[in-house]
Chain A
Amino acid sequence: MAEFFGTTVADIFNTMPTRFKPEEARDVDIIIGYECRGDGGGKWKVHIKNGTIQVEEVAGELTGCKMSVHAADAETFIGVTLGKIAAIEVLTSGKLRVVGDPRVLMMLLPKVFVQYTVPAKKSAVAAKDIIATIAERFRPDKAAGVAMKVGYDLTGAGGGQWTIVIQDGKCAVEEGLAKDLTVKMTMPADVYTGMMLGTISGETAFTSGQVKIDGDMMAAGATSRFFSKYVDPSAQAGEAEELITIKVTNAIDCRFATGPVMGMWFKGLKEKKFLANVCPKCGRTQVPPREICAFCRVRCNEWVELGPRGTITAADVVYFASPDPLTGAVRETPYAMTWVLLDNASAQEAFCLDIKKEDLGRMKVGDRVRPVWAEKRTGSFRDVLYFELDQETRGEKR
């Protein structure tokens, strides 16, 4: 199976049950289909129901799924899962497609699964590779005046016998064990490589008896400082560096003065009235009201009541889920920014509010609407809950 970023698509699905967090999925009942095309791909169905999970590979068509995810190739799917490829980029280019509510991907899945990580690979480094670098890692400045012969007897697969000779500020490696060793260390070859790569602690290996030392114990302990650290040349340099990011969420309470002119508008809302002020020069009815007319640069002191019914001039149905700055929560979608020209308003000034959920699918520009008022009104934009389609007065206006 094709491998990308060190793992396969099947690995991701096979580990799903162990990464599943049942307590987070108690009230969830969803079947998600996955299709990953190309080499190393396949089809899977994931059924999450009341804290249980079932993952099955599917041979034929994906059926009965509430939503499905389609990746153009295994690299895209694995890259997005690991966060190596930005989901938004492949969603934009069409290499990743989601059929159904994309919020499931963004919100549900991160909640019910532990993030998939690539399982650590066993090092491919052999003991002899490390021994071969000893002479170049030697630091003569640290070994001035030192003369010793250190023997390594590495047992098991990948093992062998070597003698490291340090003398006159020089270091040489010889095959086999010299007769006049200062110290001899005996251990399995994989323990040696583990210690050199830093995955096994030398102290633990010695204490647990995996490492046997014959001869000058002090010399054995001193050897490490004569050499610079071994670095696995196949390890990615980028991973050696830890890039720390700090997560911060800001929430700030604000209070905004409305001023006397805008204040009239909010006062009107309390009494279920849309109050606009009128430009004495061009006759524009300003919604929301402003102190002056910017076109004519004159004060607008006269007030008129508009609506309450009106006509839709434009509508934006929003599918993209974004945070509501007033609450910090993610907005429920879809919703619509609906522009309404209130009755008796001049033709330049529409204003914008929600439309009733049930009317989202059928409203269109030119439709008649009426406001639905909140029962308890406090003088805020929440005083009008939304507009709804108003069949009764259809055709009367415009």
Chain B
Amino acid sequence: MKKQSKMQTGTHRKNRNVAIVGVGMTSLSSHKEDQNQPEMIHEAVRAALADANLTLDDVDCIVHGNMELFEMQFQPDMWHVLGSGAYGKDEYRITTGGTVGATMVCAADNLVASGLYDTVLAIGFEKLQEGNTTGGITNMADPLWFRNIQTGALTGTTAGMLIDEFGEERAKKAAMKYRILMDKHAMLNERAHRRFGLEYEQAEDLMKTSPQLVGELRLIHMCSQSDGACAMIFTHEEKARKISGKPVWVRDHITVHREETMSNLYAFEKPEMTHHYAARKLFERNGITDPVAYFDVFEMYDPSSWWGLDWLREFLMLKGDEHIRMLEDGEFDLDGRLPINPSGGVIASNPIGATAMLRPAFAALQIRGDAGGCQIRKPVNHALASGFGGTLWTVLIMLEKDLNWQEANHG
């Protein structure tokens, strides 16, 4: 009891360092009718094992997750046991909505850091074509009040707020610039699902003609619906140094959920946004005062170009119109000051249960220099990745190339 009373909120000191030693993903596409779910997962698992030069015998524990309401399959772990390789192994199933991929990375990090397991395989997947995404998300809403009125993850409120704050023309232009930038990045990423080849000259036309979904949220702004799986392998420092030439270190992560209901998001007086809260806490305890200067890449979970644009300000602790100016000045481009989503982000590829895992996965590939066509040309030493889901459930993950940072001050 004495020991417990010393514990403070927010404490999760690492018992040992954890590295990402394997990354595997399937192609990301609109239909995968040539594979069922376990077959698709198996493809990602094999790729991750090959990448880590390990076999399933080296894996001590498996973490498996997706959005179960999307495919209405509530024991995917059982169906998938052969594809995941979990037969006879310790396994956890995690389902935290859109955040799940990132939550699995947090879980794997904790499982290895704690010493409970040496090597953990995390698998995120979704086959959105097999169910109804928007119907599924609506069905997840609070049954007592919100389910009668919610429309999946579609909302135009952020668009409305940005238009109010920055004027219609500038806000709409910025959202389209963000959208086309993401497409330009996706065009460089051979794994991305939607690669339209959009040009900045089309912005004017698309912002008028693209079908309206909700308010000023148009089809062109919204993320894709994809099929695909991602698998990552985590192990402790000693083993990582032995087996991997390019381990990527998980420096710290934070996972926050602090909305009791949607009510207090849309009144006149708004609470500190969870994205901002998570970033502030994470940067404070790691002594990072200027995230734009510190990080070399940010893989952000951006469900729409309006959200992506707005959230940059929250995550990067920017003020006023700094985020819009940085976008306008090309500072988020692949060769800019802080490249955002070289992968093309969620707008390009979105197999939801894998989506939030793809963020740290692509960030890790950037650190390793293995990102292919969308590799950032200057050295990538520090990466930030985010996950999102439900009512702003937020995860931030910090990845490092070198094990040389000051240990986080967890207060």
Contact = CB atoms under 8 A, between A and B. Distances in A.
B53 interface: no
A17 B370 CA distance: 55
B277 interface: no
B143 A256 contact: yes
A99 to B, nearest CB: 9
A57 interface: no
Contacts of B154: 318, 320, 322
A303 interface: no
Contact of B134 (A86, A317, A323, A346): A323
A319 B212 contact: yes
Nearest to A341: B267
Interface string B202-226: 1001100111111100011010110
B198 interface: yes
A319 B164 CA distance: 21
A290 B154 CA distance: 26
B258 interface: yes
A305 B277 CA distance: 32
B138 A93 contact: no
A227 to B, nearest CB: 30
A154 B246 CA distance: 67
A347 B209 CA distance: 37
Nearest to A287: B263
A397 to B, nearest CB: 11
A288 B261 contact: yes
Contacts of A256: 143-144
Interface stretch (B27-35, B94-102, B294-302): B27-35
Contacts of A92: 194, 196, 210, 219-220, 222, 224
B151 A93 contact: no
Contacts of A313: 266-268
Nearest to A257: B144
Interface string A197-219: 00000000000000000000000
B262 interface: yes
A262 interface: yes
B132 A323 contact: yes
A258 B144 contact: yes
A346 B148 CA distance: 24
A97 B205 CA distance: 12
Nearest to A86: B30
Interface in A286-344: 286-288, 290, 294-295, 313-320, 322-326, 331, 337, 339, 341
A349 B213 contact: no
A4 interface: no
Contacts of A319: 211-214
Interface residues of A, number: 54
Main SS class of interface, A:
loop
A316 B215 contact: yes
Contact of B261 (A89, A290, A322): A290
A341 B143 contact: no
Given A86-B30, A91-B211, A347-B268, A381 B145 contact: yes
Contacts of B161: 314
Contact of B209 (A94, A250, A314, A317): A94
A88 B30 CA distance: 10
A98 interface: yes
B82 interface: no
B149 interface: yes
Given A288-B261, A318-B213, A320-B214, A325 B269 contact: no
A250 B219 contact: no
A98 B218 CA distance: 13
A29 B31 CA distance: 35
Given A94-B206, A316-B215, A381 B30 contact: no
Nearest to B218: A92
A351 interface: yes
A352 interface: yes
A325 B135 contact: yes
A337 B146 CA distance: 10
Contacts of B196: 92-93
B187 to A, nearest CB: 12
Given A243-B33, A314-B157, A352-B149, A97 B209 contact: yes
Contacts of B33: 243, 245
A248 interface: yes
Given A98-B211, A341-B268, A351-B263, A322 B135 contact: yes
B264 interface: yes
Contacts of B155: 316, 337
Interface in B148-182: 148-152, 154-157, 160-161, 164
A102 B156 contact: no
B213 A89 contact: no
Contacts of B156: 316-317
Given A325-B135, A337-B150, A88 B269 contact: no
Contacts of B212: 319
B268 A316 contact: no
Given A316-B155, A319-B211, A348-B264, A254 B138 contact: no
B165 to A, nearest CB: 13
A359 to B, nearest CB: 15
A153 to B, nearest CB: 44
A65 to B, nearest CB: 17
Nearest to A246: B130
A352 B265 CA distance: 11
A135 interface: no
Contacts of B164: 365
B230 to A, nearest CB: 22
A310 to B, nearest CB: 11
Contacts of A294: 258, 260
A350 interface: yes
Contacts of B220: 92-94
Nearest to A349: B263
The 6 closest A-B pairs by CB, nearest first: A347-B269, A350-B267, A325-B139, A323-B135, A339-B266, A322-B134
Interface of B: 30-31, 33-34, 72, 132, 134-135, 138-139, 143-152, 154-157, 160-161, 164, 194, 196, 198, 202, 205-206, 209-215, 219-220, 222, 224-225, 258, 260-264, 266-271
23 contacts: A88-B219, A89-B224, A91-B210, A92-B210, A97-B211, A102-B211, A258-B144, A294-B258, A313-B267, A316-B155, A316-B214, A322-B135, A323-B132, A325-B147, A326-B148, A337-B149, A339-B266, A341-B268, A347-B267, A348-B268, A349-B264, A352-B145, A352-B263
